Amino acid sequence: MFVYPVPAARLVEGQSTREGLVQVYYNKTWGWVCAEQWDKNDADVACRMMGFLGPLSSFMVKEETEETKLHIWLNNMQCIGNESSLFSCINGGLGPHDCEGKGKAGVICRPKGNNVTVKSLLVKFCHTTFEE
């Protein structure tokens, strides 16, 4: 049996491993992060917590199911942006929350590895060189 490190986060229901809805691991169960007050600072912390370079964008999905209502572990996120974990951000407390009508928090993270810049894309695809 694999034991997740605490704190842990993951992205689910996305089109790639670097995008999707944010889940956190608490009390031996994966649960959602409510999108109430979710913004770029929160997304930045979530992406870096999972080893990405930061967010390309943040979003929310308004989807209410019984599973959503039963497994909201974090709500009212108020990250500054420099925290190492979503659990370190000011929030509504860790545990079950009512997120009715607010939706789930999502993010598209920057890829891991080298930082992609316009200059690096020009060099790669246009075979252009630059004088420093």
Q: Can you say whether the dihedral through the CA atoms of 18, 23, 27, 28 is positive or negative?
A: negative
Q: Which amino acid is at 101?
A: G
Q: Phi and psi at residue 33, in whole multiples of 5°? A: -110, 125
pLDDT at 62: 82
In which band, very low, low, confident or very high, does the pLDDT at 6 lie, cut at 50, 70 and 90?
low
pLDDT at 79: 96
pLDDT at 63: 66
Contact by Cβ (8 Å): 71, 29: yes
Q: Count the alpha carbons within 13 Å of 72 in the hemisphere toward its beta carbon.
A: 26
Decide which of 55 and 95 is more confident: 55
Q: How far apart are CA 63 and CA 76, in angstroms?
A: 17
Neighbours of 78 (CB within 10 A): 13
Q: Which amino acid is at 104?
A: K
Q: Give the domains, in start order, of the chain with CATH numbers.
A: 8-126 (3.10.250.10)
pLDDT at 69: 53
pTM, 2 dp: 0.76
pLDDT per residue as tens digits for the range 88-108? 999 988 777 777 778 899 999
Q: How far apart are CA 23 and CA 15, in angstroms?
A: 16
